Amino acid sequence: MSAPIDRPGKIIAIHLNYRSRADQRGRTPAAPSYFFKPSSSVTGTDGVVERPAGTELLAFEGEIALIIGTAAHRVRVEDAWSHVAWVTASNDLGLYDLRANDKGSNVRSKGGDGYTPLGPDLIAAADVDPAELRVRAWVNGDLRQDDETSDLLFPLPQLVADLSQHFTLEPGDVILTGTPAGSSVIVPGDVVVVEVDAPHSPKTLTSGGLRTTVTQGTVPFDGTLGSLPAVDDLQRAEAWGSREEAGLPAEDAPEAPAAPASASGLSPELRAKLIAAPTAGLSAQLRKRGLHACFIDGVSANLPGAKIVGTAKTLRFVPAREDLFKTHGGGYNAQKRCFDAVNEGEIIVIEARGDATTGTLGDILALRAKARHAAGVVTDGGVRDFAAVAEIGLPVFSRGAHPSVLGRKHVPWDVDVTIACGGATVQPGDIIVGDSDGVIVIPPALAQEVVDATLAQEEEDAWIAEQVEAGHPVDGLFPMNAAWRAKYDAARGAGAGAGTSA
């Protein structure tokens, strides 16, 4: 039967329901969980869906849609299917770029116009066995999804009965029953076709092909109104279906050789040199090269004797404002995204405008950074759970302890942007070195030159210290005049570490 599906009163979708999808995601729910989609997201076959400007992760999900025929309120499982009038195809489209900030509710990520195509034809529910339906999806003619309801974690009648115990299901309401493995990212120009049928029925029962074409949007989101699209490798892997499909290295893949100093990392050799070089010496070499503002002022380490070396991953807080904290402070906000995405050897550097009267991280986020093998954290704000963070063993350079929560003074705003921390400008990928004297920022292009000069100066200073300890006056020795320079060069050339003759 063919019939239009206009504006259902309710659209309820389940998060995970196919075993194949649960296996792909690495988690199997003990009970069904749901989210709502707006009726304005409904469209029919041969429709288009827009991938908004500035986004990359629009994904299709072929699903079986149930259309309620008679009101269901607290019905039993054995009676539930009688309340379903029709079965058809659906494409539960979602924009992963917006998922993080509405995680679970999927309000914006799955509520866009055209994000719920339904149809084209309706299969009478009375004519099919709910345990013997099939859903398939093709992208540009290639079969991407193919699974049957015998593979469901929660059978279709159970979904109807479960939902009916919480609210009345009314005629025309739609239940989207989950997607199997194979959902992936689609791009402008792609054509997705979804079909539902009953392959084991003696009759030919099919929804027909539900066709949707992807187009490119041109209007960006307005960040002054709410949170902007943001993606990380976790979202990419889940949107594409796997890290491999997303073009990401496997999590257990051997680590690639480290690159030379750059925004992407440090070579082991350069890291070792920076660990050996004190910040006092590094800062002196930076000053010699005309860089006088590379010091993050006012911070000290939570662990006595801590030394950190790594590349900067930046996080920016803006001053607290109640309406902005409501839109940017909750959910999977910029602070959480930063700690979830920090890589091994990186240092999270936080702009908190020097305000130490509230915490900028606590023990949970410190545990996450530790698990991600971050090299440390630098913040020009305060730290909650100060003692607990120290026990975790994560080196944190901050302005001290403070018990207050983030929202008292800050709104987490954005990640991986140029920031100001403790009076210093920090860009993503800058090299951060911290020790008991403080924290400095080194431009990656200067790192090798600066650290080599620092270590050479340290060797020279150690020789000078030995001369002073032996009783020589500092005049002419520190800094060295020509006579002392000749003695130093001779001692170094002879392989001697010291000489005490005048």
- Closest by CA position to 212, among listed 187, 177, 176: 187
What are the structure tokens assigned to 84, written together?
């379903």
Contact criterion met (CB below 8 Å) for 128 and 360? no
Residues 109 and 203 in one domain: yes
Residues 346 and 210 in one domain: no
Tell me which amino acid residue 123 is: I
The answer as to whether 486 is a domain residue is: no
> What one-character-per-residue DSSP string does 70-93 give?
S-BSS--HHHHGGGEEEEEEEE--
Range list of β-strands (E), 427-485: 431-435, 438-442
Contact criterion met (CB below 8 Å) for 295 and 283? yes
- Closest by CA position to 233, among listed 22, 351, 56, 104: 56
- What does residue 255 show for φ and ψ, rounded to 5 degrees? -70, 130
Listed residues 442, 471, 491: the one ending a domain: 442
Report the alpha-carbon distance of residue 435 to residue 454 in Å, rounded. Answer: 15
Residues 228 and 311 in one domain: no
The answer as to whether 483 is a domain residue is: no
Interval 299-319 mean pLDDT? 94
Q: What is the pLDDT of residue 252?
A: 54
3-state DSSP assignment of residue 313? strand
Structural domain range at position 306: 292-442
The answer as to whether 500 is a domain residue is: no
The answer as to whether 379 is a domain residue is: yes
Positive or negative CA dihedral for 310, 290, 484, 474?
Answer: negative
Listed residues 421, 442, 463: the one ending a domain: 442
Number of helices (H), then strands (E), in the chain: 12, 26
Number of domains, the chain = 2
Interval 214-234 mean pLDDT? 83
Tell me which amino acid residue 490 is: A
Contact criterion met (CB below 8 Å) for 2 and 120? yes
The answer as to whether 325 is a domain residue is: yes
In the chain, what's the furthest Cα-to-Cα distance? 108
Residues 179 and 85 in one domain: yes
Task: Tell me the percentage of the chain whose pLDDT exceeds 70.
Answer: 94
Interval 389-401 mean pLDDT? 94
299 pLDDT band (50/70/90 cuts)? very high
CATH code at 67? 3.90.850.10
Asked whether residue 381 carries a pLDDT value surpassing 50, the answer given is yes
The answer as to whether 337 is a domain residue is: yes
Residues 125 and 194 in one domain: yes
Residues 25 and 151 in one domain: yes
Residues 346 and 231 in one domain: no
Report the alpha-carbon distance of residue 132 to residue 81 in Å, rounded. Answer: 13
Report the alpha-carbon distance of residue 239 to residue 116 in Å, rounded. Answer: 17
The answer as to whether 257 is a domain residue is: no
Residues 224 and 354 in one domain: no
Interval 68-87 mean pLDDT? 97
104 versus 349: the higher-pLDDT residue is: 349
191 pLDDT band (50/70/90 cuts)? very high
Q: What is the pLDDT of residue 15?
A: 93
Interval 92-107 mean pLDDT? 86
- Residue 76: CA atoms inside 13 Å, Cβ hemisphere, count? 2
Asked whether residue 44 carries a pLDDT value surpassing 90, the answer given is no
- 124-133, 139-148, 335-344, 462-471: the lowest-pLDDT one: 462-471
Asked whether residue 256 carries a pLDDT value surpassing 70, the answer given is no
- 112-121, 138-147, 229-238: the lowest-pLDDT one: 229-238
Report the alpha-carbon distance of residue 118 to residue 120 in Å, rounded. Answer: 6
Q: What is the pLDDT of residue 424?
A: 95
- What are the pLDDT digits (tens) for 407-419? 889 999 999 999 9
- What are the pLDDT digits (tens) for 424-467? 999 999 999 999 999 999 999 999 999 999 998 888 888 888 88
Residues 192 and 63 in one domain: yes
DSSP 314: E
What are the structure tokens assigned to 60, written together?
């299709």
Residues 105 and 183 in one domain: yes
The answer as to whether 228 is a domain residue is: yes
Residues 300 and 206 in one domain: no
Residues 78 and 148 in one domain: yes
Q: What is the pLDDT of residue 247?
A: 75
Q: What is the pLDDT of residue 263?
A: 37
Tell me how far CA of residue 7 lies from CA of 60, 67, 212, in angstroms: 21, 12, 18
CATH code at 340? 3.50.30.40
Listed residues 416, 442, 468: the one ending a domain: 442
Q: What is the pLDDT of residue 124?
A: 96
**Mean pLDDT, the chain, integer:** 89
3-state DSSP assignment of residue 471? coil
3-state DSSP assignment of residue 192? strand
DSSP 344: T
Asked whether residue 250 carries a pLDDT value surpassing 70, the answer given is no
1 pLDDT band (50/70/90 cuts)? very low
Report the alpha-carbon distance of residue 427 to residue 218 in Å, rounded. Answer: 29
323 versus 41: the higher-pLDDT residue is: 41
